[in-house]
Amino acid sequence: MEWPIYLDYAATTPMDPRVAAVLGQYLGQNGFFGNASSSTHVLGRAAARAVESAREHVAALLDADPREIVWTSGATEANNLALFGVMRACARKGRHLVTSQTEHKAVLDVCRRLEREGCAVTYLAPEPDGLIPPERVAAALRPDTVLASLMHVNNETGVVQDLAAIGAITRSRGILLHVDAAQSAGKLPLDLQTLPVDLLSLSAHKLYGPKGIGALYIRQRPNRVRLEPLLYGGGQERGLRAGTLPTHQIAAMGEAFRIAGENMVVEQARIRELRDRLWQGLAGLGEVELNGHPERNVAGILNVSFVGIAAEALLAAMPEIAVATGSACTSAGGEPSHVLRAMGRDPFQARGAVRFSLGRFTTVEEIDHAIAAVRAAVNRLRELSPLWELRRRGLDQRAVNWAAP
């Protein structure tokens, strides 16, 4: 089987060779494999230096203080630590949290659990283009609200929320703002010296680093954010996240973030050109719907629905193209995207959506090959589709019950 053209960078990215080289330096008998907590010998001290150097690289990408970076196993754990940590630590102040219906399951599932613990959660509906209006956030805040949690870039549609405006509202009310930045770090500027964000979740494998490592930014000034830890035992990470630090993964994440900081502007401009080329090639088919905001979007994500085509059928018709029908964490379940349903898409549109996501190693040749493959598959499937025939006859194919879960 030929290796597929990979257009699923929003799910995970291949590790950059430069990052893999750093990771390898901290594995095996001839590497710096020591425990970063073992300060009595050279291998432990070398590991500790690598951990702190990586912390500095991650902080530099965010214009943050290295002491504000706490290592986690990924953005999912960072989201859990932020939400559970704040709501449990601030229980006496209030038990209300505001989030949106289009968040990642790593936030939504935590909110459901918090509701079972007695917290109240407001789930904001987005506009049809995926944006959460700041005034909608303001209207949802209550005297007992202690936290708002909104992702910066949506993992399915690429829509970019206005963090500055939303953060200004929460900051003025003394409410903490948590942001899931797994899809935006290293792709959009994040200056936490000026951006009114209090907690921010990060992932290495979305930025050409290894899986299994991430971080949570926790603002220290002017007022330190208080969190209740999820893990106890050992006192690592200033007592906020116990457990032996995976030096190899941390060093690799630091290198991935260092590279991203150096190349972000040029790299994202190139990816934007490729995304526009892909959209123009697909839009020429006709009856192709863009899911998301036409302007407020990240460079590497394009989510579209092909009228008359089920996404699963399209993916099966072009196995040489690696794309997704939604988020990687939920696509295996076969349910219509909760993100697109929240944006007002009917089941037909949601089940027909395909997410193309581009990245560092995507080439013009791959995009052109993908356009040709998609166009051929769509035209072939439309010829066979009774739904498309209904469309051509002017009937409303969305009345067909095929899309019902």
Instruction: Give the structural domain span for 269.
Output: 5-10+265-403
Alpha carbon distance, N-terminus to C-terminus of the chain: 33
Q: Exposed, middle or buried: residue 154 (CB in 10 Å: 0-12, 13-18, 19+)?
A: buried
- Number of compact structural domains in the chain: 2
| Residues with active-site annotation | 329
Question: Is there a single domain that holds both residue 123 and residue 251?
Answer: yes
Task: Identify the CATH number of the domain in which residue 294 sits.
Answer: 3.90.1150.10
**Is residue 145 scored above 90 in pLDDT?**
yes
- Kind plus residue range of the DSSP H or E element containing 289: strand 288-290
Query: How far is the C-alpha of 397 from the C-alpha of 402, rounded, in Å?
Result: 10
Question: Is there a single domain that holds both residue 255 and residue 299?
Answer: no
Query: How far is the C-alpha of 52 from the C-alpha of 238, rounded, in Å?
Result: 13
pTM: 0.93
Domain boundary among 226, 259, 292: 259
pLDDT digits over 388-401, tens only?
A: 777 677 665 554 44
Closest to 111 (Cα-Cα) out of 93, 87, 127, 135: 87
Question: Is there a single domain that holds both residue 203 and residue 144?
Answer: yes
Task: Share the mean pLDDT of the chain.
Answer: 93
pLDDT digits over 81-119, tens only?
A: 999 999 999 999 999 999 999 999 999 999 999 999 999
Q: Report residue 30 as tokens.
A: 């001839």
pLDDT digits over 239-284, tens only?
A: 999 999 999 999 999 999 999 999 999 999 999 999 999 999 999 9
Question: Is there a single domain that holds both residue 286 and residue 392?
Answer: yes
- Kind plus residue range of the DSSP H or E element containing 281: helix 247-283
Task: Identify the CATH number of the domain in which residue 55 sits.
Answer: 3.40.640.10
Centroid of chain to Cα 83: 16
Residue with tokens 């926790």: 218
The pLDDT confidence band at residue 60, using thresholds 50, 70 and 90, is very high
Q: How many CB atoms lie within 10 A of CB 296?
A: 15
Question: Is there a single domain that holds both residue 30 and residue 50?
Answer: yes
Residue with tokens 């425990």: 35
Overall average pLDDT of the 116-129 stretch: 97
Centroid of chain to Cα 338: 15
Question: Is there a single domain that holds both residue 203 and residue 279?
Answer: no
Question: Is there a single domain that holds both residue 97 and residue 205?
Answer: yes
Question: Is there a single domain that holds both residue 233 and residue 317?
Answer: no
pLDDT value of position 125: 97
Task: Yes or no: say if 78 and 129 are a contact pair by the CB < 8 Å rule.
Answer: no
pLDDT value of position 262: 96
Question: Is there a single domain that holds both residue 47 and residue 81?
Answer: yes
Question: Is there a single domain that holds both residue 348 and residue 386?
Answer: yes
pLDDT digits over 331-388, tens only?
A: 555 678 999 999 999 887 888 899 999 999 999 999 999 999 999 999 999 988 776 7
Q: How many CB atoms lie within 10 A of CB 115?
A: 13
Domain boundary among 225, 259, 293: 259
pLDDT digits over 45-57, tens only?
A: 999 999 999 999 9
Q: How large is the angle between the packed helices 75-89 and 105-116, nearest 10 degrees?
A: 30
The pLDDT confidence band at residue 329, using thresholds 50, 70 and 90, is low
pLDDT value of position 401: 45
Question: Is there a single domain that holds both residue 272 and residue 253?
Answer: no
Kindly state the percentage of the chain with pLDDT values over 90: 83
Question: Is there a single domain that holds both residue 205 and residue 346?
Answer: no
Give the DSSP per-residue string, 23-68: HHTTSSTTS----TT-TTSHHHHHHHHHHHHHHHHHHHHHT--GGG
Q: Exposed, middle or buried: residue 269 (CB in 10 Å: 0-12, 13-18, 19+)?
A: exposed
Overall average pLDDT of the 197-220 stretch: 98
Domain boundary among 239, 259, 279: 259
The pLDDT confidence band at residue 403, using thresholds 50, 70 and 90, is very low
pLDDT value of position 393: 72
pLDDT value of position 346: 86
